Amino acid sequence: MTTTDRTPDRAADADAAHPITRPDAQVHFGVFFQGVNHTTIWSDPESGSQTDFASFERVARTAERGLFDAFFLGEGLRLRESRGRLHDLDVVGRPDAITQLAALAAVTERIGLVATQNTTYNDPVDLARRLASLDVLSGGRAAWNVVTTDNAWTGENFRRGGYLDHARRYDRAEQVLATARRIWDAWPQGPDGRVARVEAHGDLVDVTIDPTTPRSPQGHPVIFQAGDSPQGRDFAARSADVIFSRHGSVLADALEFAADIRARAVAAGRPEDDVKVFPGTAIVVGDTPAEAEEKARWVARQQVTPATALHVVGTIWGEDLDGYDPDGPLPAHDPAVAELGGEGGSSTTGARTHEVAARWRALAEAEGLSIRDLVIRVSGERGFVGTPSAVADRLVQFVRTGAVDGFNLSPWLVPSGLDDVVDRVVPELQERGAYRTAYAGTTLREHLGLRAVARRAGTGAAGAREAALARV
């Protein structure tokens, strides 16, 4: 759930003003198989199993047919609750990402495979080894979407419990990533070399290991980062190849975000285009603009059922709103709790309820929205809605104004939700010369147009500097 209150339609006119700065830039796609969230409509007859391997395979193969860069899986290490009870309205229950992607690696050939893995409740040696294993087995198609999930509520499933202070989540992330890179760099380059021992002793990481995993054709797994705070953005600007953002459906917002990331990358001593921007979004197409609008409205209402609407507002208000009318107004009183804990899942952790409530109330009053309409309005941006041709034009505009490098699409139906994009939007993009017609490379790094991995860590001076920066 996000709280971006913008209307794409109104912004559209202003968008024409943004100059094309990258006339040859290509649109790239990834697909985010959500697994958990109300984005995925499970109630529709066309909706298949969320658990069967066949659903994952169908989506991944469709994406590969559409020449996507990557297939993503998220992570959440505790089932979401509200007020002590499991949340039961959304799709829930998913496989371990690396395990599932390894199985998918054998039934796909080119598409990148991205595993979201948090740095707080994973051991660096396990993460480095499992990701390298996926990378080798897939022939250089693996990526790690680094998230920090630091809440103590998730920690209750792990040996160390909620040991990490929120303020230090990115310190740990930095140390874990630096350690993983040193593990990946430990393998000898020549045929007669020895594997270097890795010792990393930071204040949040303590590792001594003789690595066993050779390098893949892409050197290291690609690093994605998903975390929107200033610290998260700085972490991405310093250390990630790609940032998975929430700013990708409203051009002005996306441009602002991209400019911010470029400035941070330059400040971190990197070329400004070194961090690729891949926001999450969705695409809804119809034969006519009106049909597409109608479908988008239907999708939103399927996603935000009356029960879900009450749940979303109830999460912020910290109470059960079962007695409220979803087609009526927001509660008249203020939320009981000022800040949310971790039990709603990573997207609401730390939310300041009074600020959110005030913003929502203002929006609801200004536009005369019911609870359900409001939740639809603030539940993420609705993405790109229109005819295939209009959507293609707009996607190209986003990429060529430098707002984004690609889009991470969340299908609202599993497993058929990507068919429209692949069958109708991709050909339009190809006609415009803005989308590949075949994979040029075999690795994810090549698909994304990233530069090759330098041996940053390990033994060289640059490696020692990086390790020192991360204090490991």
Partner 1 sequence: MTVPPLLTALDVDGAGAHPAAAALFGLAPADLVSGARLARAVRHAEHAGLTFVTFADAASPSVPGDPAQARLDAVTRAAFVARTTTAIGLVPEVPTTYPEPFHVATQLASLDLAASGRAGWLAAVTPGDAAPAAYGRAPVADLGREARDVVQVVRDLWDSWEDDAVIRDVATGRYVDRDRIHRVDFAGESFSVVGPLITPRPPQGQPVVLARAGDVAGPGRDGERLVDVVLVGGSGAAEARAAARAVVDGDPGARAVVEVQVVLHAAGRSGADRLAELDAGAAGPWAAGAALRHVGTPAGLVALLAELADDPAVAGVRLLAAELDADLPVLARDVLPALRADRRTAAPRGGATLRDHLGLTRPENRFAGAARATA
Ligand X SMILES: Cc1cc2nc3c(=O)[nH]c(=O)nc-3n(C[C@H](O)[C@H](O)[C@H](O)COP(=O)(O)O)c2cc1C
CA 18 to chain centre: 26
Is residue 118 at the binding interface for ligand X, with CB under 6 A as the rule? yes
Is-contact 282 382, C-beta < 8 A?
yes
Neighbours of 122 (CB within 10 A): 17
Is residue 74 at the binding interface for ligand X, with CB under 6 A as the rule? yes
280 binds, among ligand X, partner 1, none (CB under 5 to 8 A by kind): ligand X
272 binds, among ligand X, partner 1, none (CB under 5 to 8 A by kind): none
To partner 1, the closest distance from the beta carbon of 348 in angstroms equals 17
Is-contact 285 391, C-beta < 8 A?
yes
Task: Name residues contacting ligand X, limited to 4-63 (CB under 6 A).
Answer: none
Is residue 280 at the binding interface for ligand X, with CB under 6 A as the rule? yes
Is-contact 278 406, C-beta < 8 A?
yes
How deeply is 409 buried, as exposed, middle or buried, from its count of CB atoms within 10 A (0-12, 13-18, 19+)?
buried
Q: What binding mask, one character per residue, do residues 214-233 give for ligand X by CB under 6 A, x or -?
A: ------------xxxx-xx-
Q: What is the CA radius of gyration of the chain?
A: 22
Please enumerate in sequence order all residues whose Cβ is within 8 A of that of 418, keeping only pairs 6 or more positions apart, or say none: 31, 59, 62, 63, 66, 409, 411
Beta strands in 164-277 (DSSP E): 198-201, 206-209, 222-225, 242-243, 276-277
Is residue 379 at the binding interface for ligand X, with CB under 6 A as the rule? no
Is residue 174 at the binding interface for ligand X, with CB under 6 A as the rule? no
362 binds, among partner 1, ligand X, none (CB under 5 to 8 A by kind): none
Residues forming the site for partner 1 (CB under 8 A): 42-43, 50-53, 57, 76-79, 85-86, 88-96, 98-100, 102-103, 105-107, 121-123, 125-126, 129-130, 132-134, 136-139, 156-159, 161, 187-188, 191, 193-197, 205-210, 212-214, 305-308
Is residue 373 at the binding interface for ligand X, with CB under 6 A as the rule? no
Token pair of 384 as six digits: 């790109």
Which range binds ligand X by CB under 6 A, 12-20, 204-212, 239-247, 445-453? 239-247
Q: Site for ligand X (CB under 6 A): which residue of 30, 66, 76, 140? A: 76
Is residue 411 at the binding interface for ligand X, with CB under 6 A as the rule? no
Neighbours of 256 (CB within 10 A): 13
To ligand X, the closest distance from the beta carbon of 38 in angstroms equals 14
Is-contact 46 416, C-beta < 8 A?
yes
209 binds, among ligand X, partner 1, none (CB under 5 to 8 A by kind): partner 1
Task: Name residues contacting ligand X, limited to 317-356 (CB under 6 A).
Answer: 346-347
Is residue 276 at the binding interface for ligand X, with CB under 6 A as the rule? no
Token pair of 70 as six digits: 């990557």
The CA angle 227-230-234, to the nearest 5 degrees, is 80
Indicate the length of the chain as a whole number: 472
Q: How far apart are CA 153 and CA 91, in angstroms?
A: 20
Site size toward ligand X (CB under 6 A) is 20
Name the residues that contact ligand X, by CB under 6 A.
Answer: 74-76, 116, 118, 147-149, 226-229, 231-232, 244-246, 280, 346-347
